[in-house]
Copies of this chain bind each other. A is one copy, B any other.
């Protein structure tokens, strides 16, 4: 049996409904979009009674297929005012899926703010007040919950920023042994969780009954094929050794690395903060440091790391490209220890590193602190956690920061900060940022993947390419697969069909699988259309159309009209 679980945060009522045949075919991102369109008034206040906070494992979430421990978190975004799906690793996703929960939906808001904990086990769901969690940082929250719920539980929680309903707040997830803090970081979903008065969701799947699988052998075979293909892919080794920061030097080389509030695409200290340097430091310092760790059990890529301080004690896990780009070069900060500490501070107070790094960059441009001032930047993030006025400004993201500080050069699209790929020199990402229902989000269709086949600085094929990438991303986000599993599917697209046949017995073609991605995008676009945040109303920030980006000195020059063609352009049958 598979369930949709609803928790009414106003009256405490919890209901479990068996899912319908139709709902069975939805998962992760697609399921979130369907629930939002069906149940959430598109023009509602994202932090009000009618928004819903939704957690949904992907279609393969309850299998052992590699990386499928990831799960989707969603709702109407208080940043973009449109649909938001943000996926995340850690321990909770697999446990939710194993308990048969297709979607967990937090509804309404409580009369009084609070720090309730929702505990989920195989036998029951309970909602209880835990006042001592009020204002607690993320690691401390996890420690307190461990004492009460034991070491095996998966934990989903927010930091003080989420409690304060800051629009830059994310949703944190514990990993194995509480080493890494994983984040469904984007879109302000931490504020939505906070608005529901829920500080944490704790999942214990002891006693869960494994789901009925249609064809165990076929599933196992497909799973093995995928894992092998990933291991054989040349990118995997690089990712394993250097993590996502592996791309930093390439990003710097092609000139898209956000530097000093997106005023340059190359950073003079790039080598000091590159993936190679991350790996070196980890190797040199030893201790708790580690390269090549997984964010979910069963992942064969293992692109994460534990970054140690000079004494070998963990500073943060995992340090990733986006963290380094936005909190590092974008703030003119070129020291990995500083960046690791900034990253950990964001994780602790509970804010998205992209949104926060961009906001600090704008504050630096406004003269609040100078570019390169790592000590000052740490203080700013602490202020977010403390809720000082300046902290509240920054914690509400880059658009609010730009408005309040009177800065025009604000790197944001549809209310959300631009991630670590300046669209002036990677124009496909500009198309994605504008046309994706998610706003400025590289995971919605990252043209960095195709920088060798589509000239990143040219205008040609950017729109078609973005569309393909967006459909790909939507499929993977619906399956519950990590975006890094993509390369094998390029060679073996039939694998998707094998997975769905093996798990569910569905006879689907590769074309049907593509329709899953298109369905997710169309459903999201329809929600956004009704919410008044269609892609047609947003352009690249004006400064990016007029200020050439050093060193390539290109401006963004794909017109709104060209970008609006995206859902009509012809793309190859095969999107992978």
Contact = CB atoms under 8 A, between A and B. Distances in A.
Given A167-B403, A393-B393, A400-B403, A408 B533 contact: no
A43 B560 contact: yes
Interface in A38-65: 43-45, 47-50
A390 interface: yes
A392 interface: yes
A528 B423 CA distance: 28
Nearest to A49: B542
Contact of A532 (B44, B400, B403, B532): B532
Contacts of A44: 539, 542
Interface string A533-550: 110111101100010000
Contact of A542 (B48, B533, B546): B48
B534 A408 contact: no
B538 A43 contact: yes
Contacts of A167: 403
Interface string A376-413: 00000000000011101100100010011110100000
A48 B408 contact: yes
Given A532-B536, A537-B43, A400 B404 contact: yes
Interface string A309-334: 00000000000000000000000000
A531 interface: yes
A50 B405 CA distance: 21
A99 interface: no
Given A393-B393, A538-B43, A406 B546 contact: no
A166 interface: yes
Contacts of A396: 403-404
A165 interface: yes
A198 B405 CA distance: 19
Nearest to A195: B408
A354 interface: no
Contacts of A531: 537
A411 to B, nearest CB: 13
A408 B47 contact: yes
A542 B50 CA distance: 9
A416 B538 CA distance: 20
A81 B389 CA distance: 25
A521 interface: no
Contacts of A405: 392
Interface string A163-178: 0111100000000000
Contacts of A109: 408
Nearest to A165: B406
Contacts of A406: 164-166, 392
Contacts of A388: 389
A492 B164 CA distance: 57
A408 B110 CA distance: 12
Given A49-B542, A389-B404, A392-B405, 11 more contacts: A43-B536, A45-B542, A48-B408, A48-B542, A165-B406, A392-B406, A396-B403, A531-B537, A532-B532, A532-B533, A532-B534
15 contacts: A43-B536, A43-B537, A43-B538, A43-B560, A44-B542, A45-B541, A45-B542, A48-B408, A48-B542, A50-B542, A166-B406, A389-B393, A400-B403, A531-B537, A532-B537
In the A-B complex, the 6 residue pairs with the smallest Cβ-Cβ separation, listed nearest first, are A532-B537, A389-B389, A165-B406, A48-B542, A389-B390, A392-B404
